[in-house]
Amino acid sequence: TILWDGTAVPPAIDNSDGDADTTIRVTSENLHKLMTGGLDPTLAYMTGKLKVEGSLGVAMKLVSMLGD
């Protein structure tokens, strides 16, 4: 579990399991592939390798930040 609070400056990141507007579920292997460019986020979502609960718009912003 990684909780990323983007409302704080700088964003607060910790391992607590708190309430979230958006939850992204992905295996550690697929997260690594996403972060290294070996897995396209859209393809991962469409094939079920990346699951989103809550705001899809927020999830897209998070995934784009991981790719930067």
Confidence bin at 59 (pLDDT 50/70/90): confident
Instruction: Say if CB 33 and CB 63 are below 8 A apart.
Output: no
Q: What is the pTM of this model?
A: 0.70
Residue 3 neighbours by CB distance under 10 Å: 14
Element (H, E) at 26: strand 22-26
pLDDT digit string, tens, across residues 7-35: 888 888 888 887 888 888 899 999 899 88
**Range list of H helices, the chain:** 28-36, 41-46, 56-67
